[in-house]
Amino acid sequence: MPPAVVGKNGDISVVLCGEAGQGIQTVEQILTQLLKSSGYSIFGTKEYMSRVRGGSNSTQIRVSSHRVCSPVDRIDILIPFDTKALEHVRGRIRADTVIIGGKKELFPAGGADHFNCIDIPLSEIASQVGGAMYMNTVGSGVIAGLFSVDRQRLDDFVAAFFGDSSESVIEKNRDAAARGYDAAIKIIEDGRIRLDVSANPEVENDILMNGADAVGIGAIAGGCDFVASYPMSPSTAVLVFLAFHGDEFGIVVEQAEDEIAAMNMTLGAWYAGARALVTTSGGGFALMEEAVGLAGMIETPAVIHLAQRPGPATGLPTRTEQGDLQLAMYSGHGEFPRIILTPGSLEDAVYLTHRAFNRADKYQVTAFILTDQYFMDSYYNLPSVDVSGLRTVRHIVETDETYQRYFLSEDGISPRGIPGFGTGLVAVDSDEHDENGHITEDLDLRIAMVDKRLKKSAALENDTVPPELIGKDDYSILAVGWGSTYHVIKEALTVIGRDDISFLHFKQVCPLHRSTVEYLKRARVTAVVEGNATGQFANLIKLRTGFDVHHRILKYNGLQYTVEEVVGRLSKII
């Protein structure tokens, strides 16, 4: 039998699938780092159930000769940890998908012959090592072997990875990895499998991170020195990141008793001169909405990282969606301006989160960073993120005795003093207030204050991140997206390979950049691709520009688009 040749254009999709608690995440952590350091470009993403044990979770790792940043349906190599796992991804198994695992373990009732299955009994090997708990490390060893990772590098990596465990656990994991590795080498030597992918020494020194890391790095670059949040998937990873680096960067980190406290703490912190972040998800953010209005009224800056997941209510806690654009857009009662940034790439997440802090401070508004579960949990490598040019710009003034927090200035932006800095007093009030920040029911002053707050919109519109056009200027078809779909739509267009289709990606959706309508009008056909059921961004475009996009390509099953899916759905309308 000739060897199964795995890979397409130097790109291999590996999927590992097992129960929560079987260590799929450990495998992901080991393999993404190990393969990247061995010169492969990596993209890793996972989908998981809302449970600590059981169920079926999967992680996809694309291992490639060139940079890859988006998920694919295709599975080239599948490593199922149990029979349930096989069922979980059944619909994605194709004739050429190589399944690696114990035939008897995976097909107890027979039927392995219907699949392209190479027998490596992961469970049995793990038992020989010391128990089922080592199955994930055996699996890591298999993948490392298949991709010809240096054996010593694997051993060193595994030893370091489990470094905090007992000596015996470290040894058993090393043994498990080695046995998996040897099993993989054997199937290559036996001519069972051949991988069509090559390492590139240039990427060995790349950085590898996920969306949560990128938002966290951007926050620190923006001067974030305070974070108060309440844990909620999928936003917690940013809180964890900032807590991990809190001592290093002097960040006050507090797990609040609820989201209401978290958001009110955020405003108290900014009021007193800190640069605070709150990280949350839909349901938690819903609890913060009253304080979003408070931020609007007292013109205290705030930065909110809103990692979306499918709602309403608890929805699908561990899944992804772009369903909270409207929520962010209209959150808080009353009328006041805001900024909504929607990073599509890891670089975007760093730079836009940094920007959120500076712009929130400058315009005394709330700046949202809208991500989602997919974005938080997905990894890829990139040459670098240059933070050297980033500055924390503080827009606070030292007050004097004549200081008025809400001085009616020309552009609506009153110099922001903070208590204890200068000889003036700083009063802010959730009631309508006078220029001194004290409660008023003077209805003429009410008009002046509303106008003052809304005047900031004009300044915000002049300081908006323009959409990025990918493709030629003289397109006839324009795909439009925002936020986390950036890479997947970009890759889909590469796959389609037509030069009359371009892609317009929005990194800021509020205020909407004024070039938007021109881009749309130039196309014969426009299609918004977004991860919700109603076309929230398409609606926003209509509201702001009057333009009706021709097609809405929507998805709301809790999973991110795959490249094939975008290709398929775009192909239908072009």
Partner 1 sequence: MKQGPFDRGAIDIAWCPGCGNFAILNALKAALTQLGISPEQIVIASGIGQAAKMPHYVRTNVFNGLHGRAIPAATAIKAANPGLTVIAEGGDGDMYGEGGNHFIHAIRRNPDITAIIHNNMVYGLTKGQASPTSSLGFKTPVQVGGVTEEPFNAMAVAIALNASFVARAFAGDVDQTRDIIKAAISHRGFSIVEILQPCVSFNKVNTFQWFKENSGYVEDSYDPSDRSAAFNRAAEGGKMALGICYVNSERSCFEETLSPYSEDSTPLFKRDVDMAKLARLVDSKRQA
Contact positions with partner 1 (CB under 8 A) in 517-536: none
Q: Does residue number 160 form part of the binding site for partner 1 (CB under 8 A)? A: yes
Within positions 93 to 132, which residues make up the interface with partner 1, using CB under 8 A? Answer: none
Within positions 325 to 364, which residues make up the interface with partner 1, using CB under 8 A? Answer: none
Q: Candidates 55, 121, 231, 273: give the one binding partner 1 (CB under 8 A).
A: 273
Q: Candidates 54, 250, 312, 334: give the one binding partner 1 (CB under 8 A).
A: 250
Q: Does residue number 228 form part of the binding site for partner 1 (CB under 8 A)? A: yes
Q: Does residue number 427 form part of the binding site for partner 1 (CB under 8 A)? A: yes
Q: Candidates 276, 302, 303, 501: give the one binding partner 1 (CB under 8 A).
A: 276
Within positions 129 to 158, which residues make up the interface with partner 1, using CB under 8 A? Answer: 157
In whole angstroms, what is the distance from residue 523 CA to residue 531 CA? 22
Q: Please give the backbone phi and psi of residue 119, each rounded to the nearest 5 degrees, phi first.
A: -80, 105
Q: Candidates 5, 387, 454, 543: give the one binding partner 1 (CB under 8 A).
A: 387
H/E run at residue 259: helix 259-271
DSSP string, 48-108: --S-SSEEEEEEEEEEESS---S--S--SEEEESSHHHHHHTGGG--TTPEEEE-HHHH-T
CB 439, min distance to partner 1, A: 5
Window contacting partner 1 (CB under 8 A); options: 322-330, 433-441, 458-466, 499-507? 433-441
Select from 262, 258, 288 the least CA-distant residue to 277.
262
Total number of residues that touch partner 1 (CB under 8 A): 75
CB 272, min distance to partner 1, A: 4
Q: Are 496 and 448 in contact (CB under 8 A)?
A: no
Within positions 183 to 212, which residues make up the interface with partner 1, using CB under 8 A? Answer: 205-209
Q: Does residue number 418 form part of the binding site for partner 1 (CB under 8 A)? A: yes
Q: Which is nearer to partner 1, 383 or 568 (CB)?
A: 383
Give the C-alpha distances (Å, rounded to integers) separating 13 from 205, 283, 500. Answer: 22, 34, 29
Total count of residues recorded for the chain: 574
CB 362, min distance to partner 1, A: 15
Spell out the residues 6+ positions from residue 235 whose beta carbon is closer than 8 angstroms to its own: 229, 279, 280, 281, 284, 305, 306, 307, 376
Select from 166, 103, 161 the least CA-distant residue to 137.
161
Cis, peptide link before residue 234, omega less than 30° from 0: yes
Q: Which is nearer to partner 1, 27 or 269 (CB)?
A: 269
CB 176, min distance to partner 1, A: 18
Q: Does residue number 397 form part of the binding site for partner 1 (CB under 8 A)? A: no
Q: Candidates 26, 392, 534, 539: give the one binding partner 1 (CB under 8 A).
A: 392
Give the C-alpha distances (Å, rounded to integers) separating 413 from 365, 400, 401, 403, 404. Answer: 10, 18, 19, 14, 12
Spell out the residues 6+ positions from residue 141 whose beta carbon is closer than 8 angstroms to its own: 154, 158, 176, 177, 178, 179, 180, 181, 182, 183, 184
Q: Which is nearer to partner 1, 67 or 498 (CB)?
A: 67
Q: Which is nearer to partner 1, 131 or 250 (CB)?
A: 250
Q: Does residue number 275 form part of the binding site for partner 1 (CB under 8 A)? A: yes
Q: Are 478 and 523 in contact (CB under 8 A)?
A: yes
Q: Does residue number 265 form part of the binding site for partner 1 (CB under 8 A)? A: yes
CB 302, min distance to partner 1, A: 12
